Structure 1
């Protein structure tokens, strides 16, 4: 059934927009009038529309946010678990949401499912909006007749991931903001204020103290080249991200990240958490082990660990165990490997993978809390020492001048 995007006015004259499915344009207009909406503009949303880049393409990817996908999954899991057919559940979610991107995406999916395609195929047609793990688990649920259970598990998995990301972001936001603000204050102090204060020293006939000479040189350098340094600092995160995603430098950058004290340990724990929880969800829903390892390789988020998983998949295909195959590579902690091996031997691999994910998720949260408690006083200490050195470098020549006068 075609899907139409509309802009209409309600009886109070207020402008509203949304999507509606109908057999044709005339039927869509009739349905809107039944809802006491008077259409001003209307167009058909075709299946290829989702691949078009938005007007502000440099600010938006044109995809649903992970938070939106998590919300949709939870609503569909609740409705299908209550006995709603899939098409009816999709229609209910479409009618309840106010987000136009969600309405548009779900309307295309509903249209594809009503046309006779499977739910997994309809999700795959949306491009990168839904991850491979999401699509494969849905297909597995469709084939086994347990779609409502799969959606429930997917909702739990996505919500768990979003909760962990939110906690990490909220914990690191304050110290990072303090560091950025403190750096800008020091930069402004060295570039605009210090040169005026130390200008009186340029006419002195005696050699300035070493701290003062260093301060003057640094200040002159920043004042002369600030227009290069600021864009370079702003571009640095983007260049780092591009290097991580490149085929040539990606594995070297990720290997370096894993070697950084504390931060490398945190990155390892987060990657192991994501890997084990994803693998447990896939195996529990009947996805073959080789297919599951291939999916996990793409979602682990670290090229070193991804290479280890890819090598492990080849070893598993030859008949080796998962734990022994992962141990042959780099990145996975010994405790995680031992627990996976115990799960293999006891026949409870999925449950053991969930336990590993829970353990390392808790350790990740504890590491973030410890890192936050260290960063805040560290930023304050660096700021205090920097300001103290600046004051000392300015005061030393004044003290020497007073001694000469005496």
Structure 2
């Protein structure tokens, strides 16, 4: 959009106003529709500060944010909508009742606008196009599929089921990592307390002895000095560095790709991410192809729910291979994300016409692996936590007791 300043006359007095338009002709038409007076000149200008402020204000005050809707209220909304549509009620009444019953402001605001568009003559799939960022590509595709096949209620119910499975997997992971995170936070707090309050009590005692302090003691004293003197600066620097990296990650595709690729190499975290992303991709691809969506479109939609950029880039090779005339199994092989057993299952399913069955079995393989790792996260991380606690206690004990033993030896 561009901005145009229009100067005009009302009687003998001159005024000006700024209009937003694609080109000068549209700006002139908008001004004429306002019937403000006789135009004198129309000139393209930069966006006025007042309009910038108003746009920023509306962005922060509007309930429709530039992010995904929350999963729980959206899934509940879809469940109610699918149930009412399945009962044969008109879509406008179903939407109105579902909007009334939801407690989420963002879901309510989005579908209030959608309902207004539907009542003005648009279809549901056309009305939600402007909310792809908030609802996701999957939602838009399932709405369109339901309208094209005349099974909107079942399509929405299937969408709800897909989103529920993704949400359950995320919650399962959060629950599994809660205990290790608690241990790490508790260790960090204990370390800061000991360094800040315990070590300084021995510092003057050690200094008065005039003896050469061992390395563990020096390490503790250096750490205490750094925390007490530069603690706020270290914390501020860490926050600024994190914010800068987050901004660069969002805006730089190459950094995002490299970071996500490195993320897959991290112990436990990499495998959890890989199994979650691939399992989600296979499950959604299977559901979409079974629902009648063309294979290429189903692949593109399924890749939309893969949040790791590196995995998504590699999966892009599958539709490219199919478009070049190669088989689905060859596309899976070229992506480099699937092991030999999975490749053989895909190839057998494709050649025997039972691809859906095989994809279901592949999905169960990845789900079982994901569940195993998530259910045993505490056990897998336990050796690392024990080693960290032992290292902390060892450094603390050596740092405090070694000089005390040396002083006892000197006194003896």
TM-score band by shorter chain is: 0.7 to 0.9
Q: Deviations over 1:111-133 (max 9, x none)?
A: 21122211111122224121112
Change (3 A) 1:208 1:62: closer
> How far apart, in 1, do the equivalents of 2:339 and 2:239 lie?
35
Change (3 A) 1:61 1:376: farther
> How far apart, in 2, do the equivalents of 1:337 and 1:71 lie?
37
* Structure 1 counterpart of 2:378: 372
Residues 92 and 118 in structure 2, CA contact (< 8 A), matched pair in contact too? yes
> How far apart, in 1, do the equivalents of 2:161 and 2:154 lie?
11
Of 369, 390, 395, the match for 1:363: 369
The reply to whether residue 189 of structure 1 matches residue 194 of structure 2 is yes
> How far apart, in 1, do the equivalents of 2:264 and 2:244 lie?
19
> How far apart, in 1, do the equivalents of 2:103 and 2:311 lie?
40
Which stretch of structure 1 is more off in the superposition, 324-333 or 302-311? 324-333
* Structure 2 counterpart of 1:148: 153
> How far apart, in 2, do the equivalents of 1:178 and 1:239 lie?
28
Question: Structure 2 regions of 5+ residues with no counterpart?
Answer: 1-54
* Structure 2 counterpart of 1:268: 274
> How far apart, in 1, do the equivalents of 2:241 and 2:281 lie?
29
Q: Deviations over 1:63-100 (max 9, x none)?
A: 52122221111111111122222222112212333444
* Structure 2 counterpart of 1:163: 168
Change (3 A) 1:103 1:256: closer
Change (3 A) 1:318 1:127: closer
* Structure 2 counterpart of 1:292: 298
* Structure 1 counterpart of 2:99: 94
Change (3 A) 1:309 1:277: same
* Structure 2 counterpart of 1:352: 358
Change (3 A) 1:210 1:280: same
> How far apart, in 2, do the equivalents of 1:242 and 1:347 lie?
47
SS in 2 for 1:198: helix
Residues 305 and 330 in structure 1, CA contact (< 8 A), matched pair in contact too? no
* Structure 2 counterpart of 1:82: 87
Of 222, 225, 241, the match for 2:230: 225
Question: 1:220 offset after TM fit, Å?
Answer: 2.3
The reply to whether residue 385 of structure 1 matches residue 385 of structure 2 is no
Change (3 A) 1:360 1:76: same
The reply to whether residue 303 of structure 1 matches residue 309 of structure 2 is yes
> How far apart, in 2, do the equivalents of 1:392 and 1:62 lie?
51
> How far apart, in 1, do the equivalents of 2:74 and 2:151 lie?
20
Which stretch of structure 1 is more off in the superposition, 269-278 or 302-311? 302-311
Question: 1:323 offset after TM fit, Å?
Answer: 2.2
Q: Deviations over 1:295-341 (max 9, x none)?
A: 23332112222112222211110111122112113333333333222
> How far apart, in 2, do the equivalents of 1:140 and 1:228 lie?
54
* Structure 2 counterpart of 1:394: 400
> How far apart, in 1, do the equivalents of 2:357 and 2:126 lie?
29
> How far apart, in 1, do the equivalents of 2:360 and 2:284 lie?
9
Change (3 A) 1:284 1:243: farther
> How far apart, in 2, do the equivalents of 1:198 and 1:338 lie?
67
> How far apart, in 1, do the equivalents of 2:88 and 2:196 lie?
67
SS in 2 for 1:248: helix
Of 68, 75, 79, the match for 2:73: 68
Q: Deviations over 1:154-208 (max 9, x none)?
A: 1111111111111111111221122123112202322343123222111223212
Give the structure-2-normalised TM-score.
0.79
Question: 1:352 offset after TM fit, Å?
Answer: 2.5
Provide the aligned length of Structure 1 versus Structure 2: 355
> How far apart, in 1, do the equivalents of 2:188 and 2:138 lie?
41
The reply to whether residue 258 of structure 1 matches residue 257 of structure 2 is no
* Structure 2 counterpart of 1:53: 59
The reply to whether residue 332 of structure 1 matches residue 334 of structure 2 is no
The reply to whether residue 342 of structure 1 matches residue 348 of structure 2 is yes
Change (3 A) 1:56 1:185: farther
Question: 1:233 offset after TM fit, Å?
Answer: 4.1
Question: Structure 1 regions of 5+ residues with no counterpart?
Answer: 1-48
Q: What do you get for the CA RMSD once the two structures are aligned?
A: 2.5
> How far apart, in 2, do the equivalents of 1:89 and 1:345 lie?
43
> How far apart, in 1, do the equivalents of 2:103 and 2:312 lie?
38
